[in-house]
Chain A
Amino acid sequence: MSTWTTVLVGCLLAYGLKLSGYVVPASWLEGRRVARITALLPAALLTGLIVTQTVGGPRGSLTVDARVVALGVAVVLLLLRRGFLVVVIAGAATAAGLRAMGWG
């Protein structure tokens, strides 16, 4: 798929999912198990993304570099209840700083 196809197909599906909630009867999702699985889905996927974005290297290798330290800084800031932007900027600055000093 070209990048444009990926972008547009993704957009179409995202809208379809939003619209589906207005179209299907609410009873379709009344099963507690289905509701619980769909509620947990974002946590699972976001964790998968964090792992692959933090230690994923070229061609499936596991790499420890500045991204791991940046993620550690992000954890500390989230524990201190800092907001999204502070966390993201501090993470980027950590990685950029370490690389400027020649590591990771």
Chain B
Amino acid sequence: MTAYGLEAPLDPATATAVRRQGLSVGVATGLYGVSFGALAVASGLTVAQAQALSLLMFTGGSQFALVGILGAGGSGVSAVATASLLGVRNGLYALQVGQFVRGRWPHRMLAAHLTIDESTAVGIAQEVQAAKRLGFWVTGVVVFLGWNLTTLIGALVGNALGRPQTWGLDAAAACAFLALLWPRLTTGDGRTTAVLAAFIALVTLPYVPAGIPVILSATAAVAVGFLARGRHEAQESGHGRHEDPPGDGDPTGLLP
């Protein structure tokens, strides 16, 4: 804690509460790793490749997207492009987290790797700087450990299952994406974007290679982001940023 100098230490009761919050969010999220591991091997990845994604990519939405597109026969380029577009939000989270995670570069580089939906949500939900940091680190580390352990379990189980369709694992992918999308449909702009994106994906699907319809659907965000301007700014004062409970992965509460 020397890096943070003169700041007052966190009282034990708050520290315990923050740790408990980080732990529960971390454990709950870690469980998704089973579905990721199983889907990854069902999509044709090896156990080692699934594990590499959880260790090194470590951002659930992007990982599901990458294996989903490869599994559907999409090219590596479209898989990487979609995963990266989904990963843009982590850079925005980092802008927020960077306000309270300070210190030397090795420290920040480690923090960068742990900058995901859950760690950011628990971190920024706290009142004081020391609690924000504690929440961020505890959640990040617990999710990382849980996610990687359960990825391995899921990948090994998935390998033993055989043909993925028999077990409905292809349908599980769509359901996983839907569950990730759900908290983003709470705003009008989110719903408009989703409807437009669905339309774009549906009409382009028969005419372009696998994976491309997903990338084209990103233009829905650009269109709604541009056109919604006037209306949005009028409403803005009415929106609170702490409506979103920590851990639901909604990035809209983080943005100005």
Contacts and interface: CB of A to CB of B under 8 A. Distances in A.
Contact of B88 (A41, A55, A74, A97): A41
Interface string B145-178: 0000000000000000000011111111111111
Contact of A44 (B87, B218, B228): B218
Contacts, number: 325
A92 B175 contact: yes
Interface string A1-39: 111111111110111011111101010011011011111
A30 B233 CA distance: 14
Given A36-B225, A51-B201, A87 B178 contact: yes
A87 to B, nearest CB: 5
B179 A78 contact: yes
B144 interface: no
A11 B56 contact: yes
B179 A71 contact: no
A39 to B, nearest CB: 5
Interface string B39-60: 0000011100100110011110
Contacts of B111: 22
Contact of B92 (A29, A48, A62, A91): A29
Contact of B168 (A17, A46, A52, A94): A94
Interface of B is mostly: helix
Interface in B205-232: 205-210, 213-222, 224-226, 228-229, 232
Main secondary structure on A side of the interface with B = helix
Contacts of A88: 32, 35, 172, 175-176, 179
B136 interface: no
Given A17-B88, A53-B173, A66-B168, 12 more contacts: A10-B83, A14-B56, A35-B255, A36-B232, A42-B61, A43-B221, A45-B85, A53-B170, A73-B175, A74-B175, A92-B172, A96-B167
Interface of B: 28, 31-32, 34-35, 44-46, 49, 52-53, 56-59, 61-62, 64-66, 68-70, 72-73, 75-77, 79-80, 82-98, 108-109, 111-113, 115, 165-182, 184-185, 189-190, 193-194, 196-198, 200-202, 205-210, 213-222, 224-226, 228-229, 232-233, 251-252, 255-256
The 7 closest A-B pairs by CB, nearest first: A21-B94, A48-B217, A91-B175, A1-B76, A95-B168, A37-B225, A95-B171
